[in-house]
Structure 1
């Protein structure tokens, strides 16, 4: 039998889950209304913009997004139809494919980043003090390591 959460643990969990759902909805709505991009579109563009030669193998992209391979393929194909990315064969392994950021995708990311930054500041960063930001960073980096999530970078587009 699994041990029940105590009141402090339950309060923390509920605050996290309810607030993260609200926050994600706010960020998604703001980004979509300002740019037409979804948060998933934006994160794919960020990851590709930071990758060497602005390309990632599809499996690596799926891992970084915490997606099943089929979902990553669907996402990249959807973005390719809009000219944001292309999918190419991997030169070192013809059986694999990679997502590659297009010039249009990079421009779209650069135009979207300021809008997204305003939203991130309004709904998240500006509501927290330095100590709270440091505490959340430590907590989420530790949780990310447990889940195999690579560390976030500090690029301007990361917001």
Structure 2
């Protein structure tokens, strides 16, 4: 094989360039978002996402299992984050009034205020890092590409973690 002929089961040069660029983005962007939110609001990007998801519901309430799905999180990780948010007075957990076996997360007024205070800085950073370098057409293509990749990961017969 020549230097330009890929070994079976390895990336060709174009794939490698695309993948390494995306992998770098997947490492750097979450770190930048976390750093800004920690500095400006005292919360992680994951915690912001929890508060954001709750703030978008009619009554600021979601079942923990549903919230874990939105956050792409295990219940264990979500529970640890919810405990941190509870200690800050931003969230409370309670039995579901309709089924006491189920736990719900409830956004408190303080939690709503914290999320609303954090949101402008977060939006500004996302605009700076993601949208400013792209044309509108490129941003739309990024959305479509990400949606296709997400659909492949979440598809019925798509990727899933090993047991």
Give the TM-score category using the shorter length. 0.7 to 0.9
Asked if 1:140 corresponds to 2:108, the answer is: no
Residue equivalent to 1:13:
19
Residue equivalent to 1:103:
109
Q: 2:122 aligns with which of 116, 122, 135?
A: 116
Distance change >3 Å, CA 129–CA 66, structure 1 → 2: same
Q: Per-residue CA shift, 1:77-123, capped at 9, x if unaligned?
A: 11111001000101121111011100000011111111111111121
SS in structure 1 of the partner of residue 89 of structure 2: coil
The more displaced of 99-108 and 52-61 is 52-61
Indicate the structure (1 or 2) with the bigger Cα radius of gyration. 2
Residue equivalent to 2:86:
80
Residue equivalent to 1:61:
67
- Structure 2-normalised TM-score? 0.85
Q: How many residues align?
A: 148
Higher relative contact order (CA closer than 8 Å, sequence separation 6+): 1
Structure 1 residue 148: Cα displacement: 3.5
Structure 1 residue 11: Cα displacement: 1.3
Output the CA distance in 1 between the equivalents of 2:11 and 2:47.
36
Q: 1:23 aligns with which of 14, 20, 29?
A: 29
**Structure 2 gap ranges (5+):** 1-7, 156-163
Q: Which has the higher helix share?
A: 1
Distance change >3 Å, CA 92–CA 146, structure 1 → 2: farther
Output the CA distance in 2 between the equivalents of 1:54 and 1:140.
28
Residue equivalent to 1:3:
9
